[in-house]
Structure formats: structure tokens, C-alpha cells
Amino acid sequence: MKDFLTLQFMPCHRRPERSLIVKGKKFPVCYRCMFILIGLFMSIPIAFFTPLFSVIPSFFAAVLMNVPMLIDGFTQKKECRTSNNPLRIGTGFLAGFGLAQFVVASAKAGAFFIVN
């Protein structure tokens, strides 16, 4: 249970310079991972009550919403530039929001298929 509460299941680098620190305590994941989670949790109710897309369009929207995060991550990994925390926050939230839209649209389609 401790691993779940400290988010050890997430594949995050957990670097202190890229993590939120409050009163000397470091958050267990970096800003990007934290905002992926926030984007997921905040957008699920929005997607459930007002789905933006059906399954196929939501898949492509999820892929497109993850592209900025991938570009930021790969250009940083290849040492083309250095990312900053505000950019990591934006790309993480966008990725989480896109993934939630796809997950909710898929779940609704699956439930509709099972019921009907």
C-alpha cells in the first residue's frame, strides 16, 4: 500500500530539480508526471458527462495531445535544449487530458456494446 501512496508504480525519474518541493518535502513524481495525473483525474468527469469525441476520433485526439510531450521529452533527451517546469506542466496536463478522453470514450463504447 505504501508503494501505491508514494506513486512508486509510476515510471518517473523523480529528479529533485524537476519535482514540486513543499516545506522541504519533495513530491514523489516530477511536474510532468504530476500533471499527467491531474489531467487524467480532472478531465474524467468532464469526458464522462460531455464526451468531446467518439472512440476513433478520441484516439487520434489522444495521440495528438501527447505529441507535444513526446517532442519535449525527446529533444531534451537528445540534449537539443533544456525543458523547464512550466512547459512540463503544460505538456503533462495536455497528455493526461487526451488520454482520459480516449479512455472514457472507449469505456462508454464498450459498455454500450455489452448492454446492447
- Helix/strand/coil (H/E/C) assignment for every residue in the chain: CHHHHCCCCCCCCCCHHHEEEECCEEEEEEHHHHHHHHHHHHHHHHHHHCCCCCHHHHHHHHHHHHHHHHHHHHHHHCCCCCCCHHHHHHHHHHHHHHHHHHHHHHHHHHHHHHHC
Structure-model confidence comparison of residues 31 and 66, the more confident one: 66
Asked if the structure places residue 23 within a domain, the reply is no
With a CB cutoff of 8 Å and minimum separation 6, the contacts of 116 are none
Asked if the structure places residue 93 within a domain, the reply is yes
* Type of residue numbered 103: V
Quote the pLDDT of residue 70.
92
- The pLDDT mean for the chain works out to 83
pLDDT tens string 50-77: 666 688 888 999 999 999 999 998 998 8
Domain range for 79 is: 32-115
Asked if the structure places residue 73 within a domain, the reply is yes
Kindly tell me if the per-residue pLDDT of 1 is higher than 70: no
Asked if the structure places residue 61 within a domain, the reply is yes
Asked if the structure places residue 16 within a domain, the reply is no
Check: CB of residue 98 under 8 Å from CB of residue 61.
yes
Structure-model confidence comparison of residues 114 and 22, the more confident one: 114
Quote the pLDDT of residue 52.
64
Asked if the structure places residue 19 within a domain, the reply is no
Total structural domains within the chain: 1
pTM of the model: 0.80
